[in-house]
Amino acid sequence: MGTRTAEIAVFLARRGRAEVLVVHRCPELGGYWHTVAGGIEPGESPGEAARRELAEETGLQLDVIGEAFVMTYPLAQEPPESRARFAPGLQEVPVHSYLVDAPDGWEPTLDWEHDDYRWCTPAEACTAFKWPETAESLRRHLSAP
């Protein structure tokens, strides 16, 4: 029985936020373009989960991650095998998203979950993302004061 009740997403930007990192999930995990993302482990804060996932998926280690925006998506859009990871009765999954600035010359070291990455403009990233909620979250971060 699942226990996950929320997720995180971390958008990485560089060059004055003119470039955003998109990572490609391996075919075994769906084969789509996304951002750094994952679940919040029991006892972990969203910020701790974001820092952990960022280090695991890209190798970038940060002490401070900033403020999150929270958006939701319907759990029904997950495949049945993925839904089992979530707490019983959960209908909408809250996603705590963060925008962090990577050093301009930095390149990620991908983990086993990803087979490719690219830096692109924010508009290109929004087009590449599989889910509209991911694109909307990035737009919201970039328009924040």
> Token pair of 55, please?
């280090």
Q: Are 90 and 5 in contact (CB under 8 A)?
A: yes
CATH 3.90.79.10 correct for 7-143:
yes
Supply the mean pLDDT for the chain: 92
b (16+ CB within 10 A) / e for 58-80: bebebeebeebbebebebeeeee
pLDDT digits (tens, 9 = 90+) for 81-97: 778 888 888 888 889 99
Residue 103 — pLDDT band, cuts 50, 70, 90?
very high
pTM for the model:
0.91
12: closest CA among 102, 73, 134, 82?
102
Residue linked to tokens 């990803």: 114
Least confidently predicted of 35-44, 70-79, 96-105, 129-138: 70-79
Mean local confidence (pLDDT), 14-42: 94
At 3 the pLDDT is 81
Percent of the chain residues past pLDDT 90, beyond the cut: 68
Residue 70 — pLDDT band, cuts 50, 70, 90?
very high
Domain extents in the chain: 7-143
